[in-house]
Structure 1
Amino acid sequence: MGVKNTYYQDTTKALNQRVEVPQNVEETSNSVQIKGPQTSRKNFSVVDSSDYIAPRTETKLHTELLEKPTFILPNRERNKPHNDWITIIIFVAIAIIASIRYTYAKYIQQLFLSLFNYATSVRMLNDKNYPVFHAAFRLEIIFYITLPLFIFQCLNLFKYENTAFAPQYFLIIFGSVLLYFFGKKLIYLTLGLLFETQNETREYLFNFDNFNRSLSLVLLPIVILIQFAPLKSPMFIAILGLVILFILNIILLRRGAIILLKKQFSLFYLFLYLCTLEILPLLLIYKVVV
C-alpha cells in the first residue's frame, strides 16, 4: 500500500506541474517571429507573391473574318410567278386520281397491261362492267386536262425569241385538243359506216381511249416535275414526255394495224387509212405551230 501511495503521489505531482512556454522564440534569420495573439502578421505569408498568376488587363478583342459556309441550301427562284393557275389544275387532276386510286386499282393494272397485251384489250372490250366506266371517264378528264397543260409547258420551254405564252393560250390549246380528238373520232365512225367496218372501228376507238387513259397517268407526273422540279431548265423532262408520246403513238398504230388486218384490209389501203387519220393531222398541227 505504501508503494501504491507513493506512485499516485508522484503521478499527481507530474500532472500538476506546468510547463513554462517562453514568450519569445528566436529562430534563424529566415524564420517567422511569433509574438502572441496580438502580434502583427504583416510579414507572414503562406505562398510567395511570385506564385500568383498575374491578371490580364487587356480589353482589346481580336476579331477574325470567318470563311463563308460551304453548305448552302438549294434555292430556286420563281421564274414563272404568274402560273399559280397551273397549280390549281394539277391539284384538281391529283384529286380525281385519288378518287379512283384504291377503288379501281385492278382496273388501272389491266389498263396498262392492255397496252402490250392484245388479249387483255379484247377481254376489257367484251366485259360490260359498268362501274368501271366511272373510272374510265375520270381518267379521260385527266387526259384532256394534262395534255393541253403539257403542250403549254413545252411551248414555253421551246419558246421562240424568249417570248412567254400567256395563260390565255392554254384555253386555245385546250379547245384545239378537244376539237382534234373528238373530230378524229367522228371521222373514224363515219369511215366505219362507209366501209362497213363498224366493229373494227369500235374496237380501235376503244384501244385509242385506253391509250389516252394510260397516257393521262404518265403525263401527270411529268407535268408536275416540269412545274415544280428544282431545276434551272427542266428541258430533258419535257423531251422525255415527248418521247413517251411518240412511243405510245407507234404502239397504237401497230394495234390499229392488227385490228384492221383481221378484216383482210389491203396493206396499201391500211397505210393510207392510218396515215390519213393519224400521221397527217399531226404534221399539219406541227406546221401550224411552227
Structure 2
Amino acid sequence: MDVIVTYQQDTVKVKNLINQAPQNRELKSVVSRKKPASILDIPEREQAAELSEKKTYTPDQIRNWRILQENKLLINNSKYITPLTDVNFIQSEKPDPGFVLPIRLRNTTGTDWLTLLIFFGIVLFASIRVAYAKYMGHLFLSLFNYSTSVRMLQEKNYPVFHGAFRLEAIFYISLSIFVFQILHLLKWENAVPSPSYFFMILGIVLLYFYVKKLMYLMLGSLFEARNETREYLFNMDNFNRSTGLLLLPIVILISFAPTKTPVFIVFAGIAILISSNLILLQRGIFILLKKQFSIFYLFLYLCTLEFLPLLLIYKVVVVE
C-alpha cells in the first residue's frame, strides 16, 4: 500500500538551506572569498597638490619681446611708411557699368567709294520705280509667264528701253560689287579693296556677258536659229535685270552687316544667282525645243555657253 506524504513549509520562518548544501572541497580551495575593502578604511589625503607658481618677467625681457614683435612689422627695414610717388590711385571698388550694349564688329574695309556706288544704284532704282513702275511689274511677271515675255518682245516700246538700260546698269554694278565682296570675304590672295580692283572686276563682268551674247548670235546663225536665239537673249536680259534688283539689297546688307562674316547673306545672294540661271536655262530649253532643235546640239549649245564658263571661273577663283 502506497503512502502519500504532504510537506508543508512555514511561510513565516524560512530555514536557510545553504549550510545544508553539499560542499565541494576542491572548489573551495580554488575560489578565494575575501571581504571587500571598506571606503572608510582608505586614508584621507593630507595635502593637495601644490599649484605651479606664475612666471614673472622682468621689464628688460618685456621690452626685448616687444622689439622682436615690432621688427616683424617692418617694411624694407624701416619703422616708417615711405610715401608713394605714384599719383595714380587704385580704385578698389568695382564701378557699376550699368546697361551696356554688346559690341559687334562690323565688316568694314574702309571702302567709302563702295558706299557711293551702292547709293548710285539706289538712285537708279528710285528713278525706275517712279517712271517705269508698270514695266517692272511686267518684268517680274515675265520670269514665270512665257506669254508675258513674248508680248514684251513683240511690243518693243522705245520709252521702256530707258528703264531697261538703267536696270542693266544696276545688274552689272550689283553683280560686280557682289563678286568683289565674295573675293574679299574669301581672302583671295589677289583681292585688294581698291577702286581699281573693283573696276577691273566690272570690266571682266561686262566682257563676259558681251562675249557670251556674241557667241550666242554666232551659234544661232550657224544652226539657223536666229529668231530663237534673239528670243533667248531677250529673256536672258530680263532675268539679268530682275536679278540685279534682287542683288542690290544683298550687297547693301553685306556692306553694313553687324557681323564680321555675313555668311548667310552671301549664301542668299549665291542662291539668287543659281535660281535665276536655272529658270533661264529651263526657258532656253523650252524655246529651242519649240523649233524641234536636236537634243545633242541643244546640249552642246548650252554646255558650251552656260556651264563651261562657270566651271572655268570656279577653277580660277576657288581652286587656284
Q: TM-score, normalised by structure 1?
A: 0.74
Alignment of 1:1-290 (within 5 A): 67-69=96-98, 71-73=99-101, 75-77=103-105, 79-160=107-188, 165-167=192-194, 168-290=196-318
CA-to-aligned-CA distance 1:68-97 (integer Å, 9 cap, x gap): 22x333544454342111001001111111
Identity among equivalent pairs (%): 66
User: C-alpha separation between the residues in 2 aligned to 1:74 and 1:174?
Assistant: 37
**Cα pair 1:139 1:216 within 8 Å, conserved:** yes
CA-to-aligned-CA distance 1:232-285 (integer Å, 9 cap, x gap): 221110111001101110100000000000110111211111111100011011
User: C-alpha separation between the residues in 2 aligned to 1:174 and 1:248?
Assistant: 20
**Cα pair 2:121 2:170 within 8 Å, conserved:** yes
Segments of 5+ residues of structure 1 without an aligned counterpart are 1-62
- 1:248 maps to a residue whose letter is S
User: C-alpha separation between the residues in 2 aligned to 1:112 and 1:127?
Assistant: 17
User: C-alpha separation between the residues in 1 aligned to 2:250 and 2:202?
Assistant: 18
Q: TM-score, normalised by structure 2?
A: 0.67
Count of aligned pairs between the two proteins: 226
Please state how far the C-alpha of 1:165 moved relative to its aligned partner.
Answer: 2.6
- 2:291 maps to a residue whose letter is K
**Cα pair 1:143 1:213 within 8 Å, conserved:** yes
User: C-alpha separation between the residues in 2 aligned to 1:231 and 1:182?
Assistant: 36
CA RMSD of the aligned region, Å? Answer: 1.8
User: C-alpha separation between the residues in 1 aligned to 2:276 and 2:107?
Assistant: 32
- 2:205 maps to a residue whose letter is V
Segments of 5+ residues of structure 2 without an aligned counterpart are 1-91
**Cα pair 1:155 1:165 within 8 Å, conserved:** no
Please state how far the C-alpha of 1:192 moved relative to its aligned partner.
Answer: 1.2
Answer with 1 or 2: which has the greater Rg: 2
Q: Which runs of 4+ in 1 moved over 6 A?
A: none
User: C-alpha separation between the residues in 2 aligned to 1:86 and 1:194?
Assistant: 42
Q: Greater relative contact order (Cα 8 A, min sep 6): structure 1 or 2?
A: 2
